[in-house]
């Protein structure tokens, strides 16, 4: 079997899971409050990832020690808890197109952190790509008509912060995944994140009639917990252990295209000229930076 082909097929599947996350997230947010949705998603993901961890432990004894726990928890806080809380809060305040395109800046954030940590080298082409991507974000925000498609500054900022947290997770996790499996990292991340958010989740649940949520809302939440959270993260860390962090992250430039198209077809979102132009500029900049 051609291992590179299999690896890139898994990465493509990961991008498809994450693209669908924007759509089902919008469906779930029609009924669940953002913080409750984030808590339920992370809690269910913690339950879903445990069988993967147990299966792995049967094949291979645990390799982590007490000294590793703080780092694994740190990765969980940034890569899961903050990342997904910011994502859900942002998605509730912006459009699918804006969320996907701003999240498309994430490879640039990964590149910047990787260069600061000495994992990669900044080149003129990479710097130019970063500048172009930022220019695309400016076009997206400053040239859009005031009347709009539900996108707000606060929602876009939350999405940007979500990508920033994931960039920290990616770069810091590059070294960690060499010592620990993706199942171990994700188990600590999701179980730790669920415990950290438990007080907020329980508080939100006490104020919301869970029994009145529709099947579509529950299925959307479960999709968010299993596919883009557990399975996509396992693929992501598997890929991180085999190719450069920025190259793995660069595949996310497909994500804005897929997610935006889904938003138009499924949710009926409207694409203005600024969204199309800004998106093209952002993706061009990210591509140039990745190729640099």
Give start and end residues of each alpha helix (H) in the chain.
Answer: 3-29, 34-59, 69-76, 83-91, 96-103, 106-116, 124-142, 153-179, 182-207, 215-225, 232-240, 245-250, 254-267, 273-291
Distance CA 29, CA 264 (A): 18
Write the pLDDT tens digit of every residue in 225-258.
999 988 987 887 778 777 776 677 667 667 888 8
Both structure tokens of 11: 């990465």
Domain count of the fold of the chain: 1
> Is the pLDDT assigned to residue 101 strictly greater than 80?
yes
> Is the pLDDT assigned to residue 29 strictly greater than 90?
yes
Distance CA 287, CA 125 (A): 10
Distance CA 153, CA 26 (A): 18
Point out the least confidently predicted range of 49-58, 151-160, 163-172, 244-253.
Answer: 244-253
Question: How high does pLDDT run on average in the chain?
Answer: 84
Please count the other Cβ atoms lying within 10 Å of the Cβ belonging to residue 105.
Answer: 25
Q: Quote the pLDDT of residue 178.
A: 66
Of 181, 161, 191, 182, the closest CA to residue 78 belongs to 161
Q: Quote the pLDDT of residue 177.
A: 63
C-beta separation of 111 from 286 below 8 A: no
Q: Quote the pLDDT of residue 186.
A: 80
Which residue range is the domain that position 18 belongs to? Answer: 3-291
> Is the pLDDT assigned to residue 50 strictly greater than 70?
yes
Distance CA 193, CA 191 (A): 5
Most distant CA atoms of the chain, gap in Å: 57
Write the pLDDT tens digit of every residue in 112-146.
888 887 877 888 888 888 888 878 888 877 776 65
pLDDT band for position 65 (cuts 50, 70, 90): low
Distance CA 56, CA 222 (A): 23
Please count the other Cβ atoms lying within 10 Å of the Cβ belonging to residue 280.
Answer: 13
Of 97, 101, 11, 12, the closest CA to residue 284 belongs to 101
Average pLDDT over residues 70-89: 84
Both structure tokens of 112: 């910047």
Which residue bears the tokens 């996907």? 100
pLDDT band for position 73 (cuts 50, 70, 90): confident
Q: Quote the pLDDT of residue 147.
A: 46
Write the pLDDT tens digit of every residue in 163-208.
898 888 878 776 666 677 777 778 888 888 888 889 999 999 999 9
């Amino acid at each position: 079997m051609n291992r590179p082909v299999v690896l890139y097929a898994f990465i493509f599947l990961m991008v498809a899971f994450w693209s669908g996350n924007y759509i089902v997230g919008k469906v779930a947010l029609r009924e669940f409050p953002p913080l409750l949705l984030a808590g339920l998603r992370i809690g269910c993901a913690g339950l879903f990832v445990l069988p993967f961890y147990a299966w792995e432990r049967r094949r291979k004894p645990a390799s982590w020690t007490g000294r590793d726990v703080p780092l694994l928890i740190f990765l969980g806080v940034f890569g899961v808890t903050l990342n997904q809380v910011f994502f859900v809060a942002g998605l509730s305040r912006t459009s699918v197109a804006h969320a996907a395109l701003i999240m498309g800046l994430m490879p640039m954030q990964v590149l910047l952190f990787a260069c600061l940590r000495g994992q990669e080298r900044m080149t003129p082409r990479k710097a130019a790509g970063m500048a172009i991507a930022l220019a695309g974000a400016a076009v997206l925000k400053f040239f859009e008509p005031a009347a709009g498609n539900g996108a707000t500054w606060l929602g876009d900022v939350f999405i940007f912060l979500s990508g920033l947290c994931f960039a920290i997770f990616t770069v810091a996790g590059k070294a960690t995944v060499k010592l620990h499996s993706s199942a171990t990292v994700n188990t600590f991340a999701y179980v730790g994140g669920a415990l950290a958010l438990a007080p907020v989740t329980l508080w939100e649940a006490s104020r919301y009639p869970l029994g009145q949520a529709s099947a579509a809302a529950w299925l959307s939440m479960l999709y968010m917990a299993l596919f883009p959270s557990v399975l996509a993260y396992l693929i992501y860390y598997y890929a991180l252990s085999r190719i450069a962090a920025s190259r793995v992250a660069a595949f996310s430039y497909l994500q804005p295209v897929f997610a935006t198209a889904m938003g138009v077809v499924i949710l009926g979102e409207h694409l203005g000229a600024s969204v199309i132009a800004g998106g093209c500029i952002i993706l061009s900049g990210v591509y140039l930076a990745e190729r640099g």
